[in-house]
Amino acid sequence: MKGLPRWLTELLLIVVAVLLIRATLVQAFNIPSASMQPTLLIGDFILVNKLVYTVSEPRVGDVVVFKYPVNPSLDYIKRIIAGPGDLVEFLDLEKNGVRVYGVRVNGQEYPLKFRGTRRFNGRTYYEFEESIPLDGRRISHSVWFSSHPTKVAGLTPYVRVSCMRYRYNLCVKFRVPEGHYFVMGDNRDNSEDSRFWGFVPRESILGKAFVIYFSGRVPPLTPEDVNFFTGFRQLFLALINPRFDRIGRSLVY
């Protein structure tokens, strides 16, 4: 790079290093919608490990970023509920007087423990702690059910799958195809996920979310609204409306 000013050479080296890291190791994303609440809020900025799944396979319970199967130009974030070959069943349940739906995978139910009532943006949610068995232990995270939901406990007719049991025209017992993953949002009554558009191919998974590096109050976006410029706008709004209590929260079990 002879002939270039030193500051310009250093800037170019920094840009190349950042692009290399972004392409191979770590990438930053911001959360545009409420589908992963209460785990991730609108305005959370997260780092995603892009290397981890080159040396290991995605696991049940991981919060992952992936290419949206309906439109691969968009990135989505959800939690893996079941993996390749897993047998999934949806259960109609009543917990603490609240009608909810649970999940059973390979004969093991993911227990739900009532944690209380939450208010968010004028709506009431019931918060439960869901436990997922993993490597001989259980990992826990919070999920929300709406007080006035359009409950979807199962796969809609638009998801083509060999179904073992139907309820209310929804498939409530099925097996995840090999090479695919079944994902859902933690905000169970406010998330478009595998229940609506099907399974996520292994090759579409970009990485594992592992930490919230910044957070602030920002307006919601649809996935289609997210681009380079809206990302900077959201970050600017977060900087002037920060939520310091969320910075540094780990998403790794």
Residues forming the active site: 35, 78
Tell me how far apart the alpha carbons of residues 184 and 205 are, in angstroms, rounded to a whole number.
Answer: 14
Residue 149, token pair as written in the block: 């939901």
Tell me how far apart the alpha carbons of residues 217 and 121 are, in angstroms, rounded to a whole number.
Answer: 12
Tell me how far apart the alpha carbons of residues 138 and 251 are, in angstroms, rounded to a whole number.
Answer: 15
Q: HSE (CB half, 13 Å, CA atoms) of 22?
A: 8
Tell me how far apart the alpha carbons of residues 50 and 129 are, in angstroms, rounded to a whole number.
Answer: 28
Q: Which of 159, 40, 168 is nearest to 101 (CA)?
A: 168
